[in-house]
Structure 1
């Protein structure tokens, strides 16, 4: 890569415990371009951009902006350097007005007092530019809480633009936008490109990459693989570059039977829309797709933690009304959340208590009395079954390694004899050995007759572990992958929802005679 690039990142490394998120990644991009960062789940693309924006501190590596070293101590430092970011997770304050959110942290002041007139002059041009995305209005004094999700995302974009960035990061920023809102955003992105701003773009929509991006860097396993010019590379080749050479997945014998254990019909909740599927006893069913496409909402709705808008859930032929997690547990539905620290464990409490939490009531005398001897025996039995390493069951669970903590999050459900096990990215943040041991625990649950639903941020985990995978895109099930189709390449293609329409866009956008082609020509 040329040493004169406006933005350079070299040798960037970042580890989280036993997991390597970035492994010596290099990246370079020019001012006045729209540069995509592509890669499958777990490739390190979001971590790389969070290093750039100061959200994540790298273990090693250098970042240079316009020839100067950038050593941020946090997002404020990078903002002062001219870098703004827009994420799918919003940073807005619902009870504040749109204006107050846009100038938060950069409020103009006059004689030490906030200058509201100056704040309006700062924010209004961007709100007016995005008026079409707000249905033709300029919601400067409206509460953020009163806006719909797409409008809130547009406010987040305006908040970044108010800071007049030299580098704008859009990390899945279009995920909640409607088509017209995306069109307005892309018009603004092209204007920013013409004014010399570098726009870094992560999206799961291939058609958007083809429509607005000039260059793309493909990442895999925490490293940069190749940087290409979008107009010169067919979309099929982009997918192949993202996946690369695939290692053969470990083959495991399925324990699935013909008995339908879970039957879901037309389930809608949160971001999930009209999900219909069945899971057999002993089957491991994966939930694939890019993160944030409704997988977690599906699992939460089945566990009663998210109220459904519509649909029915049938377990072993009987309708289940999971209006709360307590009711779900009574129906023998187990849930392994995505954040073990805040949702799956009581970190300051003993290992024994964490093992006992879901099932203690089954062993309580008259519903209130517990025998320590009985609790110790139950915990030791589960710990041995899931190969958990610990000093004493009275030690805080926080003293265990991440892998052993995660095994407790899963293994504590064994005594409840679950009929359905819901798992939200259970292998996140643990090393390879712990992951293999955890997968063995998952297979044991399936072998006991449970129907297992598992979401994972790493497509390879789904290939290794699952009998089938349902791929979600924007809250809907768009593909069912099994048998010979169950490969990483298929999952990546399905996750990006590559359709015949996308292929047509790829073909026509690169044709010289296409009237849309000038929008995609390199500057």
Structure 2
């Protein structure tokens, strides 16, 4: 197989107003090889992907395909050149079927009474074949709104395969997938490489990069700062290239003295999602919930804040009964939830940072903001900005100003905004659902430090995580869920093998902490 580059970037530069997003980036994509694109959030990876797929045109530099300069004025030009992308945030239409999403904009046609109409049987048949090649096991006619995140990824992969792509870009495709689904993605990447496809693979998970990638390029502040062979790379060296400094231990020192019980839950059940969960979390403590995708962790947390109408339980917050079906009461009592989907549920991306930071206080119970955001009966713009500024400084949120839209921030800073919005209410218990999903190692370090700061101030934290090292290092105790059941509980320092075995079903009995 040839080692000559199929696609080359030479000196690619891109600026958005005062922001220099790309600074002379070079990289080569070779048929039959996977190139790891590594960098922190805000390093320029997304801009580079959008340049390759025709969303953005570079200000300077050139793109070479088969050694010849090309220019993509629109996404269709990149697709016609054989470039396809599979994104972390799936790009599918809920109102359409899986087959319609695969062939969006290019359905197979047939002649009928002199007219060219969509050939529906052929489209469904071919879509089913591509879904099968992507490892999907659902019918092509299934409405996309009925499918989960992993299945939506499979639609995007099937779409890329149907385009007979010569270059496939995987942009954080595994962020929301289970271990088995991640293995399917890695298997598909190897299959594409064997077929001579050039792959660009973006992930914050180094084990995936080492498993499927042949070479790497590291971006920092929009510039290429290093590259080489994955076989000879060291994770510590890659991290240092990413962040410009050595990160010996991303987990902060533990200095905890748990206090009184803040939240006690007994018999938390739902007819279809989970059953008979019971636990308590103390002030100044992190209680972890670990399990594979589909274990029911997020659903249980949503029930605690009143978002599961059919759930039942006996819940006490600070010794007082809590109505399980009243989100406003949960928030007023001091129980808040930071969702997994920060883009869809956690923040209003088009609104300014300041407006997002004060949103919960304005919409929440009156005692949460009276006197701090108002002047008499009126909202005070001065106090509102002061409230937001204090949160930005406390959480070290990096933004041009309060007026910058949240969408312009890196993933790590977006997550800080979502967390800060609720910390402004001075809660007693904070539920963090996958707080580091899709953010880089440097941003993770900042979130971990924030969690440690929260427990030092006496907050009780419930951490839902599908990353075992994260749950092990941050949590004082880890509850393992499997298929809606609480199957084990482990104290800090328990072996990873035991926790993983419980999550996978090898341990059936709950173990004492």
The equivalent of 1:372 in structure 2 is: 377
TM-aligned CA deviation for residue 86 of structure 1: 1.9
Change (3 A) 1:59 1:110: same
The equivalent of 1:393 in structure 2 is: none
The equivalent of 2:218 in structure 1 is: 219
Contact preservation (8 Å) 1:44, 1:219:
no
Contact preservation (8 Å) 1:220, 1:243:
no
The equivalent of 1:76 in structure 2 is: 76
The equivalent of 1:116 in structure 2 is: 118
Secondary structure of the corresponding residue to residue 215 of structure 2: strand
Change (3 A) 1:331 1:18: farther
Alignment of 1:478-489 (within 5 A): none
Q: Does 1:100 align with 2:105?
A: no
CA distance in 1, matches of 2:80, 2:306: 44
Contact preservation (8 Å) 1:86, 1:160:
yes
Q: Does 1:421 align with 2:430?
A: yes
TM-aligned CA deviation for residue 167 of structure 1: 0.9
Secondary structure of the corresponding residue to residue 342 of structure 1: coil
The equivalent of 2:331 in structure 1 is: 329
CA distance in 2, matches of 1:110, 1:20: 48
The equivalent of 2:128 in structure 1 is: 127
Secondary structure of the corresponding residue to residue 84 of structure 1: strand
Q: 2:459 aligns with which of 429, 450, 456?
A: 450
Q: Which runs of 5+ in 2 are unaligned?
A: 241-245, 395-400, 505-513
Residue deviations 1:238-274, cap 9 Å, x none?
A: 54444343267797895753334345789899xx999
Secondary structure of the corresponding residue to residue 421 of structure 1: strand
The equivalent of 1:33 in structure 2 is: 33
TM-aligned CA deviation for residue 215 of structure 1: 0.9
Contact preservation (8 Å) 2:336, 2:429:
yes
Secondary structure of the corresponding residue to residue 91 of structure 2: coil
TM-aligned CA deviation for residue 417 of structure 1: 3.8
TM-aligned CA deviation for residue 440 of structure 1: 10
The equivalent of 2:511 in structure 1 is: none
Change (3 A) 1:322 1:188: same
Contact preservation (8 Å) 2:179, 2:292:
no
Contact preservation (8 Å) 1:14, 1:58:
yes
CA distance in 2, matches of 1:414, 1:189: 41
CA distance in 1, matches of 2:173, 2:70: 24
Q: CA RMSD in A?
A: 6.4
Contact preservation (8 Å) 1:13, 1:22:
yes
Alignment of 1:242-281 (within 5 A): 242-244=238-240, 245-246=246-247, 254=255, 256-262=257-263, 279-281=281-283
Contact preservation (8 Å) 1:419, 1:451:
yes
CA distance in 2, matches of 1:473, 1:24: 47
Contact preservation (8 Å) 2:358, 2:388:
no
Alignment of 1:370-519 (within 5 A): 371-372=376-377, 382=387, 386=391, 398=403, 416-422=425-431, 446=455, 448-452=457-461
CA distance in 1, matches of 2:141, 2:460: 50
CA distance in 1, matches of 2:480, 2:63: 35
Q: Does 1:228 align with 2:226?
A: no
CA distance in 2, matches of 1:387, 1:83: 40
CA distance in 2, matches of 1:406, 1:280: 24
The equivalent of 2:398 in structure 1 is: none
How many residues align? The count is 465
Contact preservation (8 Å) 1:41, 1:290:
no
Contact preservation (8 Å) 1:53, 1:85:
yes
Residue deviations 1:460-485, cap 9 Å, x none?
A: xx99x9787979999999999979x9
Change (3 A) 1:385 1:177: closer
CA distance in 1, matches of 2:13, 2:478: 33
CA distance in 2, matches of 1:319, 1:109: 62
CA distance in 2, matches of 1:14, 1:264: 52
The two structures have a TM-score, normalised by structure 1, of 0.60
Secondary structure of the corresponding residue to residue 348 of structure 2: helix
CA distance in 2, matches of 1:47, 1:457: 28
The equivalent of 1:519 in structure 2 is: none
Residue deviations 1:44-82, cap 9 Å, x none?
A: 656643442245666766443322344434433321221
CA distance in 2, matches of 1:14, 1:268: 52
The equivalent of 2:318 in structure 1 is: 316
The equivalent of 2:509 in structure 1 is: none
Change (3 A) 1:127 1:361: same
The equivalent of 1:160 in structure 2 is: 160
Residue deviations 1:143-198, cap 9 Å, x none?
A: 34455665544333222222221112233446547859965x77765554444322
Contact preservation (8 Å) 2:7, 2:30:
yes
TM-aligned CA deviation for residue 419 of structure 1: 0.7
CA distance in 2, matches of 1:177, 1:360: 41
Q: Which runs of 5+ in 1 are unaligned?
A: 390-395, 486-492, 502-523
Contact preservation (8 Å) 2:12, 2:59:
yes
Contact preservation (8 Å) 2:127, 2:140:
no
CA distance in 1, matches of 2:347, 2:476: 29
Contact preservation (8 Å) 2:305, 2:327:
yes
CA distance in 2, matches of 1:326, 1:65: 56
Contact preservation (8 Å) 2:254, 2:452:
no
Higher RCO (Cα < 8 Å, 6 or more apart): 1
TM-aligned CA deviation for residue 380 of structure 1: 8.0
